[in-house]
A = this chain, B = another copy of it.
Amino acid sequence: MQRITDIQEMQRTADRLRIEGKRIGFVPTMGFLHAGHLDLLRVCREQCDIVVLSVFVNPAQFGKGEDFGRYPRDPDRDEALAASAGCDIVFIPNSEDIYPPDASTRVEVEGLSELWEGRFRPTHFRGVTTVVSLLFHIVKPHCAVFGQKDIQQAVIIRRMVRDLHFDIEIIVAPTRRENDGLAMSSRNTYLAGSGRSDAAVLSRALRLAEQAIAGGERNTAMILAIMHDELAGSPDIKLDYAAVFDAETLEEIIVIDKAPVVIAIAARIGNTRLIDNTIVKGETIES
């Protein structure tokens, strides 16, 4: 596995691979890899000849008072894990190279970036779309893989790619879960003791919502009531939102009459913010 830190070297490498006719796949991450990231690498490997992983804790997507400083980092472990997952290139740029001191350009998907997570993290998605754009210009991939856990991010990236005519296929890979259902996240490392066991209630609430829909419930007020009931059993969980929304427009849904729809939860346990979601597909609605 090749390790690249220099932006121009990454661009020249991508140019060379493209001239050789190689299909370049890209998995952008903030590092501290877990099994969910390795799934993304495997999905990428199935679609592409060359798999590039980037590790960059992007300051622009953290708000004031968020966890940029304490976000977990372990680049040596990341490299070893990436190599074991068959990654070809790990790109670990310096923050000063990515953002010159007077950097002033931003890429923003209006509307979609202001909903749901955007209400709690008003500058977050602008930071994401800006860094993903510039990483696309550096890595020059044919396809890029994002995790379903950050579903709003994936929807916004798809919209950005369409609007700005990036010639890149966006793949969204399923969420990897712990044995008790907790969606894997680098931030789970913040959880300890009862917080860790409480965290599983998010995925339990999502499963109950899915079961209600499979059982014929179409009224989202009823579905959300079931979720709130389940969450109420864990009083240390502070809910930011539970919602059912359209998988493309992110608009709230009152009666489920088409698919796919997203059921999403965001909550806090102490200082740790957790998100999770499930996508309800057509076969569930039609059954």
Contact = CB atoms under 8 A, between A and B. Distances in A.
Interface in A149-171: 159-160, 162-167
Interface string A1-20: 00000010001000100110
Interface in A105-151: 105-112, 129-130, 133-134, 137-138, 140
Given A18-B19, A19-B19, A21-B19, A103 B163 contact: yes
Contacts of A167: 11, 15, 137-138, 140
A107 B164 CA distance: 9
A159 B108 contact: no
Contacts of A137: 164-167
A105 B110 contact: yes
A15 B109 CA distance: 27
A194 interface: no
B107 A111 contact: no
A99 B160 CA distance: 12
Given A19-B21, A137-B165, A165-B137, A105 B160 contact: yes
B111 A104 contact: yes
Contacts of A18: 15, 18-19
Interface in A215-260: none
Nearest to A11: B167
B19 A162 contact: no
Contact of A107 (B99, B107, B112): B107
A69 interface: no
A107 B106 CA distance: 6
B108 A129 contact: no
Contacts of A65: none
Contacts of A109: 104-105
Max count, chain B CB within 10 A of own CB: residue among A15, A98, A166: A166
A130 B98 CA distance: 20
A193 interface: no
A167 B110 CA distance: 26
Contacts of A160: 105
A243 to B, nearest CB: 20
Contacts of A166: 137
Interface in A50-97: none
A27 B129 CA distance: 27
Nearest to A162: B100
17 contacts: A11-B165, A11-B167, A15-B167, A19-B19, A99-B163, A103-B163, A104-B111, A105-B109, A105-B110, A105-B129, A105-B159, A105-B163, A106-B107, A106-B110, A107-B164, A134-B163, A134-B165
| Pairs of residues from A and B, 7 with the lowest C-beta to C-beta distance, nearest first | A105-B163, A137-B165, A134-B165, A103-B163, A104-B110, A134-B164, A11-B167
